[in-house]
A and B are shown apart, each in its own frame.
Chain A
């Protein structure tokens, strides 16, 4: 079965610092999808990005960037010039093409950005 590990339980940075959230996954499928979600204090998880296993191209969206490396089974998330509004719990998730509906989440990383 698939597994997602987010080794960093909590991270605290000062505003404007860059921060990288780590995600390591395990799967036996060759086709799978990786996701990042943000959970602000309000509770609902907000979808940030999806990557499929055949697309290792890194992606940048504003201050957010994602580094997908199949060789190390990692899908890391970097926030550049962090802001207080980035404070949230961030979840990495994996779903396998042969295992519909079963999205496995990591334990999450709580990011606190201090002013």
Chain B
């Protein structure tokens, strides 16, 4: 089974819609991450959760709202998005509460298009 899964793989939404992205990891990790990957830009870290507690919010607009109900699941709730939010949203997980040493395991991403 794939270590980190994301659903949906593709999402098209209008600026007034509300949608959620889901991420699930089957690796027994304790840290989970959301990244945004836009064309021709480095990956941008958005949120980090360690043991279900949010430990990082990289100045992300409030129209993005994360939720981590347990260490295996991570959601990104979207509302009132802008066209410039269109991007690939990647979820990742790692061991050990998010230590700098640990490599991250990524899901395949959700390709989001905001009309």
B residues near A4, Cβ cutoff 8 Å: 42
- Which residues of B line the A interface, CB within 8 A? 4, 31, 33, 40-43, 45, 48, 50, 55-56, 88, 90, 92, 98-101, 103-109, 111
Q: Name the one of B4, B100, B103 contacting A32, with C-beta atoms under 8 angstroms.
A: B100
Chain A contact residues, CB within 8 Å of chain B:
4, 32-33, 35, 37, 42-47, 50, 52, 91, 95-108
B99 to A100, Cβ gap below 8 A?
yes
| Nearest CB of B to A28, in Å | 14
Contact across chains for A42 and B104 when beta carbons are under 8 A apart: no
Chain A residue, CB-CB nearest to B33: A101
Choose among A96, A97, A103, A107 the residue that contacts B45 (Cβ–Cβ < 8 A): A103
Provide the bound-state CA to CA distance between A51 and B91, in Å.
23
Checking A32, A33, A96, A104 against B42 with a beta-carbon cut-off of 8 angstroms, the contacting residue is: A104
Query: Contact at B88–A101, with CB atoms within 8 Å?
Result: no
